Amino acid sequence: MRNGGRISAAIEVLTDVLERHQPVKTAMRDWGKSARYAGSKDRAMVSGLVLDALRKRNSVAYRMDDTSPRALVLGTLGFAWGWDLDQIDAAVADEHGPEALTPDERARLTGEADPAAPLHVQGDFPEWMTPMMARVFGDDVAAETQAMAVRADVDLRVNTLKVDAEKAAFPLKSADAEPSRLLHNAFHIPAKDPSEREASLESIPAYSKGWVEVQDAGSQIAAAAANAQPGEQVLDYCSGGGGKTIALASQMKGKGQIFAYDIDGKRLSALIPRLKRSGATNVQLVHPSEPVQLETLTGLMDCVFVDAPCTGTGTWRRRPDSKWRIKLGQMQKRMAEQTDILASAAAFVKPGGRMVYATCSFLMEEDEDRVAEFLEAHPEFTEEDAADAAIASGLLTDEGANVVQRFRMPTGSVRLTPHRASTDGFFFAVLRRA
């Protein structure tokens, strides 16, 4: 395919996403089925263009004065990808390209950005969320949210149950991986150009051998705050796909016991092959169809990890379509779930034990507010310094320790963001039972 055909395809896919409300993955899959001739580079450019158009939706639409998929794609080429008019003209002139640029489109593509544009335009987020953004970020709203509107890097966690970081480093060179600046047993792969295909980590022997796991650095730091020790009894209460379960098993060096529970039995079952690949032998799955098994753990856990379901605002770099689907009612539903989950999970913490509450959200409504509400209802718990807990794990580098200390909240919790730490948005708090 030539660029003109790729641009037309991106407009087609984006139309399915915005006007037919299809998830990006579904829209790309459907287009791919109808475009068997498209190669990997074609698919990479179409996908990258669609995702960047979604990441920059507000700011591009504002500058183009047009919210149509065509305007968003053309504006993304000009404003985000840096194409000049000659490049765009050459592409649309192709027989498979879209219609030629109009005089108005040409004028807008060469115009300057408005420094006085509203915050929700500058930061590319839903306008109704402006008060929430101002509450959590203050004067840094634009900088924080602009950092959420770019392509995300990839982080890898070394599975120390099988290998050390030094041994894992050599086979990861083919993926351009470099040691993490935040974590000792981790590697970092900078984001490629949006038009380029990302490396397939599954094809790297180190991945298939279970030497590394794909896990954002912010998620790894949140797991480090559990500071799980060999021999402890640990419950991962919302284990989901099991990324933090396996990270905790690595911290515990295979000693003690981890119980992985999730209300979604299908997601929990998907953890089985990951456990086999990781070599973690001290993990026991607690299926939601067997409530008695879960009840037997009441009051016995040294640590309960609660990676609560949330709006996922911290993952906007990776899932840009999700930020335009979020609604106030959805957020309020998640907040109610978080309240219930915290109360339920607390019952499993033994006296003197701890509970880690984490979300991949940067919203105070899902973070500090939920912790404060829980502590008011459960005076037997007190909040501890989450930065100190993460540092005590020994997993953070000096720079990683500095980051969590800098972004520790007044009560002791920690909030990481792409702007602050080059991680996904993550919040974590450590709560100790008397």
Same domain, 259 and 408: yes
pLDDT at 227 exceeding the cut of 90: yes
Q: Is residue 321 part of a domain?
A: yes
Q: Is residue 144 part of a domain?
A: no
Structural domain that includes position 109: 3-115
Same domain, 266 and 404: yes
Residues 159-207: pLDDT tens digits?
A: 999 999 999 998 888 888 999 999 999 999 998 877 666 666 777 888 8
Q: What is the pTM (predicted TM-score) of this model? A: 0.94
On average, the pLDDT of the chain sits at: 94
Tell which of 115, 150, 166 closes a domain: 115
Q: Is residue 400 part of a domain?
A: yes
* Per-residue pLDDT at 197: 67
Say if residues 4 and 97 touch (Cβ distance below 8 Å): yes
Same domain, 420 and 288: yes
Same domain, 284 and 402: yes
Tell which of 63, 90, 115 closes a domain: 115
Q: Is residue 188 part of a domain?
A: no
Same domain, 111 and 256: no
In the chain, how many domains are there?
A: 2
In percent, how much of the chain has pLDDT > 90?
83
* Per-residue pLDDT at 200: 66
Residues 380-402: pLDDT tens digits?
A: 999 999 999 999 999 999 999 99
* Per-residue pLDDT at 195: 66
* Per-residue pLDDT at 198: 67
Give me the mean pLDDT over the 233-245 stretch: 93
Tell which of 98, 115, 132 closes a domain: 115
* Per-residue pLDDT at 175: 84
Residues 115-174: pLDDT tens digits?
A: 999 999 999 999 999 999 999 999 999 999 999 999 999 999 999 999 999 999 988 888
pLDDT at 96 exceeding the cut of 90: no
Give me the mean pLDDT over the 81-96 stretch: 92
Residues 26-44: pLDDT tens digits?
A: 999 999 888 878 888 888 8
Q: Is residue 120 part of a domain?
A: no
Q: Is residue 129 part of a domain?
A: no
